[in-house]
């Protein structure tokens, strides 16, 4: 039986557009405006890689202080724009995770986000405390490096070759390839289907709800 490793933002919770807009405002506040669509296509990378990519967009590298300031402003704006009580699971996410528990399908969550800022998202999903969750602070390198998924497979005691990664961003799918895992793309993060397929997704579903009703296509 395969094991499932889920991304969090844009895959299980509806936070991508709040993240995009928080970064857009943070960049504007610090005098480094970047187009919204370019920010959108970078969501899901680690914050460190994200600020390096921003440096490329604006034509010069950010200093460590600038990168840290930017991250802090983003975090503050994100909390203001999307208060904890408005953190919302994507359609089908809660039911899908509940069925995986009921049927003893091995599964975990691996996210480029950090505690405590991901805590409200995890809470909104109503998952038990013993769910395997690997976050940015648990590994040396975040997506598109494979470390988060490899660490999640290790904690699940699953063979990477038997793991499916489920994600909404090309960074999930690239990291899955590098971890020697198959991957499934969801449109719920706002990428187009072709972008996900080109990055290696062998199936693309609209959202967790459609994935839930298609589990047999994965041999589950």
Choose between 21 and 202: whose C-beta lies nearer to a copy of itself. Answer: 21
CA distance linking residue 62 with residue 67, whole number of Å: 6
Least distance in angstroms from the C-beta of 218 to a copy of itself? 22
CA distance linking residue 83 with residue 124, whole number of Å: 12
113 upstream amide cis, omega within 30 of 0: no
CA distance linking residue 69 with residue 5, whole number of Å: 32
Choose between 80 and 217: whose C-beta lies nearer to a copy of itself. Answer: 80
Rounded to 10 degrees, the C-alpha dihedral 181/135/141/9 comes to 70
CA distance linking residue 69 with residue 211, whole number of Å: 38
The residues that touch a copy of itself, with contacts defined as CB under 8 A, are: 10, 14, 16-18, 20-21, 24, 28, 33, 35-37, 39-40, 81, 86, 88, 90-91, 187-195, 207
Least distance in angstroms from the C-beta of 172 to a copy of itself? 15
Least distance in angstroms from the C-beta of 130 to a copy of itself? 29
- Residue 138 annotated as catalytic: no
| Catalytic residue (choose from 9, 14, 147, 172) | 9
Choose between 36 and 126: whose C-beta lies nearer to a copy of itself. Answer: 36
Which tokens in the block code for residue 20?
Answer: 């995009």
Choose between 88 and 141: whose C-beta lies nearer to a copy of itself. Answer: 88
Count of Cβ atoms closer than 10 Å to residue 83 Cβ: 10
Least distance in angstroms from the C-beta of 170 to a copy of itself? 10
Least distance in angstroms from the C-beta of 111 to a copy of itself? 17
Within the chain, residue ranges assigned H as helices are 16-29, 36-40, 47-58, 64-81, 93-102, 119-124, 147-156, 170-178, 193-198, 208-212
Task: Count the alpha carbons within 13 Å of 129 in the hemisphere toward its beta carbon.
Answer: 0
- Residue 9 annotated as catalytic: yes
Choose between 40 and 212: whose C-beta lies nearer to a copy of itself. Answer: 40
Could you give the residue numbers annotated as active site? 7, 9
């Amino acid at each position: 039986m395969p094991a499932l490793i889920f991304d969090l933002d844009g895959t299980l919770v509806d936070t991508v557009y709040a993240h995009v807009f928080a970064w857009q405002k943070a960049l504007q506040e610090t005098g480094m405006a970047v187009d919204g669509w370019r920010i959108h296509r970078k969501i899901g990378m680690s914050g460190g890689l994200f600020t390096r990519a921003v440096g490329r967009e604006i034509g010069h590298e950010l200093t460590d202080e600038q990168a840290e300031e930017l991250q802090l402003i983003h975090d503050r704006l994100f909390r203001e724009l999307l208060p904890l009580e408005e953190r919302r699971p994507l359609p089908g996410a809660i039911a899908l995770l509940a069925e995986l528990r009921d049927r003893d399908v091995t599964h975990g969550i691996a996210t480029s986000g950090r505690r405590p800022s991901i805590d409200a998202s995890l809470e909104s999903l109503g998952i038990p405390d013993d769910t395997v969750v690997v976050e940015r602070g648990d590994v040396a390198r975040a997506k598109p490096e494979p470390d988060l998924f490899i660490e999640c497979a290790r904690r699940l005691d699953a063979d990477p070759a038997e793991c499916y990664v489920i994600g909404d961003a090309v960074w999930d799918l690239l990291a899955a390839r590098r971890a020697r895992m198959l991957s499934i793309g969801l449109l719920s993060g706002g990428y187009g289907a072709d972008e996900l397929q080109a990055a290696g997704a062998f199936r693309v579903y609209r959202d967790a709800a459609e994935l839930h009703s298609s589990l047999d296509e994965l041999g589950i």
